[in-house]
Chains A and B, each alone.
Chain A
Amino acid sequence: MPALLERQKYLIDYTLAALLRHKTRNLGLLLVYALLVFLFSSVLLLSQSLRREAATLLQDTPEVMVQRLVAGRHDLLPAAWLEPLRRIRGVSAVQGRLWGYYYDPAVKANYTLMVAPDRDLAANDILIGAALARIRQLSIGDILSLPTTTGKPLPLKVAGILDAASELLSADLMLLSETGYRTLFNPPPDTYTDAVLTVRNRREARTVAEKIALALPGSRPILRTEILRTYDAVFNWREGIVFITLGAVLLAFMILAWDKAAGLSAEEKREIGILKAIGWETGDILRMKLWEGALLSLTAFLAGYALAYWQVFYGGTRLFAPVLKGWAMLYPDFRLTPAVDLLHVLALLAVTVLPYIVATLIPIWRAATADPDAVMRG
Chain B
Amino acid sequence: MLMTSAMVALQGIALSVAGTVLLASGFAWRILRCWDINSGSELQLRLERRTYLISTLLGFALGAELLSLLLFVHTAESLSSQFVGAMCATGVLNINGFGFPALLLKITVFFLAAVWLLLNRVDHQGRDYPLIRVKYGLLLLIAPLTVAELATQTGYLLGLEPEVITSCCGSLFSSESHGVAAELSSLPPKPALIGFYAAGMLILGVGLAFLRRIWLGPVFAASSLLLFGVAIAAIIAFLSLYVYENPNHHCPFCLLKAGYNYVGYALYPPLFAATAFGLGAGIIAPFHRIASLQTVIPNEVRRLTRLALAGFWLFYMLSTGLILQSGLILMG
Residues of A near any B CB (own CB < 8 A):
43-44, 47, 225, 228-229, 232-233, 236-237, 239-241, 243-244, 247, 282-283, 286, 290, 342-344, 346-351, 354-355, 357-358, 361-362, 364-365, 368-369
Contacts and interface: CB of A to CB of B under 8 A. Distances in A.
A237 B71 CA distance: 18
Given A233-B82, A343-B71, A347-B71, A283 B8 contact: no
A233 B5 contact: no
A361 B75 CA distance: 28
Contacts of A240: 3-5, 7-8
Given A282-B52, A346-B71, A347-B71, A361 B6 contact: no
Is chain A's binding surface mostly helix, strand, loop or mixed? helix
Contact of B52 (A232, A286, A350, A358): A286
B81 interface: yes
A346 B67 contact: yes
A343 B74 contact: yes
A239 to B, nearest CB: 5
B198 interface: no
Interface residues of B, number: 32
A350 B9 contact: yes
B7 A351 contact: no
B268 to A, nearest CB: 14
7 contacts: A47-B5, A233-B162, A343-B75, A349-B67, A350-B71, A358-B19, A362-B53
B12 interface: yes
A358 B60 contact: yes
A344 B70 CA distance: 12
B56 A354 contact: no
Contacts of A361: 20, 53, 56-57, 60
B20 A358 contact: yes
A289 B6 CA distance: 29
Contacts of A355: 12, 16
B6 A347 contact: yes
Contact of B16 (A43, A244, A247, A354): A354
A240 B5 CA distance: 5
B13 A350 contact: yes
B33 interface: no
Nearest to B20: A358
Q: State the 9 A-B residue pairs at the shortest beta-carbon distance, nearest first.
A: A240-B3, A350-B9, A369-B49, A347-B9, A365-B53, A236-B4, A347-B6, A343-B74, A243-B8
A44 B67 CA distance: 18
B64 A365 contact: no
B78 interface: yes
Contacts of B75: 343
Nearest to B57: A361
Contacts of B16: 354-355, 358
Interface in B130-185: 162
A348 B6 CA distance: 8
Nearest to B13: A350
Contacts, number: 99
A346 B12 CA distance: 13
A351 B68 CA distance: 11
A282 B67 contact: no
B20 A283 contact: no
Given A343-B74, A344-B6, 11 more contacts: A225-B81, A236-B2, A236-B5, A239-B5, A286-B52, A350-B68, A350-B71, A351-B8, A351-B12, A361-B56, A364-B56
B5 A44 contact: yes
Q: By CB atoms of chain B within 10 A, which of A44, A232, A343 has the most?
A: A343
A358 B16 CA distance: 7
B231 interface: no
B153 to A, nearest CB: 13
A358 B6 CA distance: 19
B71 A344 contact: no
Contact of B81 (A43, A229, A290): A229
B300 to A, nearest CB: 13
A50 to B, nearest CB: 13
A344 B74 CA distance: 10
Nearest to A346: B71
Contacts of B257: none
B70 A346 contact: yes
Given A233-B2, A236-B3, A236-B4, A365 B67 contact: no
Nearest to A1: B303
Interface in B93-134: 124
Interface in B1-30: 2-10, 12-13, 16, 19-20
Nearest to A231: B81
A343 B89 CA distance: 14
A236 B2 CA distance: 8
Contacts of B60: 357-358, 361
Contacts of A243: 5, 8
A354 B12 contact: yes
Contacts of B3: 236-237, 240-241
A203 to B, nearest CB: 11
Q: By CB atoms of chain A within 10 A, which of B6, B16, B60, B162 has the most?
A: B6
B163 to A, nearest CB: 12
A283 B52 contact: yes
Interface string B42-77: 000000010011001100100010011011001100
Given A232-B82, A240-B7, A344-B5, A365 B56 contact: yes
A127 B124 CA distance: 77
A66 B53 CA distance: 63
B249 to A, nearest CB: 15
Contacts of A362: 53
A290 B64 CA distance: 15
A244 B8 contact: yes
A345 to B, nearest CB: 10
Q: By CB atoms of chain B within 10 A, which of A44, A286, A350, A369 has the most?
A: A350
A237 B13 CA distance: 20
